[in-house]
Structure 1
Amino acid sequence: MTPPDKAATRRRPRTSGKLRAVALMLPPALILFSLFVIAPLLNAGYYSLFHWNGYGTPQDFVGLRNYERAFDHSIFWVSVRNTVVLLLVSIFIQMPIALALALAIYRKTPTNAVFRLIFFLPFILAEIAAGLIWSFVFDGNTGLVAEITQALGIPPVFILSNRDWAFYAICLVVVWKYFGFHMMIYIAALQAVPSELIEAARIEGAKRWAVIRHVLIPHIRPAIVVSGFFAVIGSLQLFDLVIPLTNGGPSNQTHTIVSYLYTFGLTRLNIGYGSAVGVILFVAAVIVAVLYQWQLNRERAK
Structure 2
Amino acid sequence: MKVEASADRIQARKRGARAGQRWGNALFILPFLVVYLLMLVIPLFKGIWISLLEVDMLSNSADFVGLDNYVELFSDEIFIGAVLNTFYFVLISTPVFIALGLALALALNRPGRTGATLRAIFFGSSVLSVTIVTLVWKLVLMPHHGMLANITESVGLPSLSLLTSETWALPTIAVVTVWWIIGLPMMLFLAALQQIPREIYEAAALDNASRWRTLWSITLPSIRRTVALVAIIEVILQFQLFGQAQLMTQGGPNNSSRPIVQFIYEAGFRNWELGYAAAASQVLFAMMLVAMAFQVWLSSRKQAY
1:256 shift after superposition: 1.2
The answer to whether the 8 Å contact 1:131/1:242 transfers is no
Match of 1:176 among 166, 174, 179: 179
Judged with a 3 Å threshold, the aligned counterparts in structure 2 of structure 1 residues 211 and 149 are, in CA distance, closer, same or farther, namely closer
Which residues of structure 2 form unaligned runs of 5+? none
Q: Does 1:227 align with 2:230?
A: yes
My pick for the range that moved more, 43-52 or 254-263, is 43-52
Distance 1:85 1:132 in 2: 24
Q: Does 1:188 align with 2:191?
A: yes
The answer to whether the 8 Å contact 2:173/2:244 transfers is yes
SS at match of 1:51: strand
Judged with a 3 Å threshold, the aligned counterparts in structure 2 of structure 1 residues 243 and 215 are, in CA distance, closer, same or farther, namely same
SS at match of 1:59: strand
- The amino acid that maps onto 1:127 is V
- The amino acid that maps onto 1:223 is T
| Counterpart residue number, 1:252 | 255
- 1:33-72 aligned at under 5 Å gives the runs 33-72=36-75
Judged with a 3 Å threshold, the aligned counterparts in structure 2 of structure 1 residues 163 and 294 are, in CA distance, closer, same or farther, namely closer
My pick for the range that moved more, 278-287 or 219-228, is 278-287
1:297 shift after superposition: 5.5
The answer to whether the 8 Å contact 2:169/2:257 transfers is yes
Q: Does 1:127 align with 2:130?
A: yes
- The amino acid that maps onto 1:290 is A
The answer to whether the 8 Å contact 1:75/1:253 transfers is no
- The amino acid that maps onto 1:135 is K
| Counterpart residue number, 1:201 | 204
Which residues of structure 1 form unaligned runs of 5+? none
The answer to whether the 8 Å contact 2:228/2:296 transfers is no
Judged with a 3 Å threshold, the aligned counterparts in structure 2 of structure 1 residues 168 and 31 are, in CA distance, closer, same or farther, namely same
SS at match of 1:230: helix
Judged with a 3 Å threshold, the aligned counterparts in structure 2 of structure 1 residues 53 and 247 are, in CA distance, closer, same or farther, namely farther
Deviations 1:202-252 (A, max 9, x none): 101101111111011110111101000111001111112211111111122
Judged with a 3 Å threshold, the aligned counterparts in structure 2 of structure 1 residues 256 and 204 are, in CA distance, closer, same or farther, namely same
Judged with a 3 Å threshold, the aligned counterparts in structure 2 of structure 1 residues 239 and 6 are, in CA distance, closer, same or farther, namely farther
Distance 1:187 1:7 in 2: 51
Distance 2:64 2:224 in 1: 49
The answer to whether the 8 Å contact 1:50/1:58 transfers is no
The answer to whether the 8 Å contact 2:268/2:276 transfers is yes
Match of 2:24 among 21, 25, 44: 21
| Counterpart residue number, 2:115 | 112
| Counterpart residue number, 2:94 | 91
- The amino acid that maps onto 1:102 is A
My pick for the range that moved more, 175-184 or 145-154, is 145-154
SS at match of 1:241: helix
Distance 1:262 1:282 in 2: 15
| Counterpart residue number, 2:277 | 274
Aligned length: 302
The answer to whether the 8 Å contact 2:153/2:159 transfers is yes
Normalised by the size of structure 1, how large is the TM-score? 0.89
The answer to whether the 8 Å contact 1:107/1:191 transfers is no
Distance 2:13 2:303 in 1: 32
Deviations 1:85-117 (A, max 9, x none): 222223322211111121111122221111111
The answer to whether the 8 Å contact 1:131/1:244 transfers is yes
Judged with a 3 Å threshold, the aligned counterparts in structure 2 of structure 1 residues 90 and 21 are, in CA distance, closer, same or farther, namely farther
Distance 2:196 2:300 in 1: 21
The answer to whether the 8 Å contact 1:47/1:58 transfers is no
Match of 2:265 among 262, 278, 293: 262
The answer to whether the 8 Å contact 2:94/2:238 transfers is no
Judged with a 3 Å threshold, the aligned counterparts in structure 2 of structure 1 residues 201 and 156 are, in CA distance, closer, same or farther, namely closer
RMSD: 2.6
- The amino acid that maps onto 1:257 is I
Q: Does 1:211 align with 2:219?
A: no
SS at match of 1:52: strand
My pick for the range that moved more, 273-282 or 144-153, is 144-153
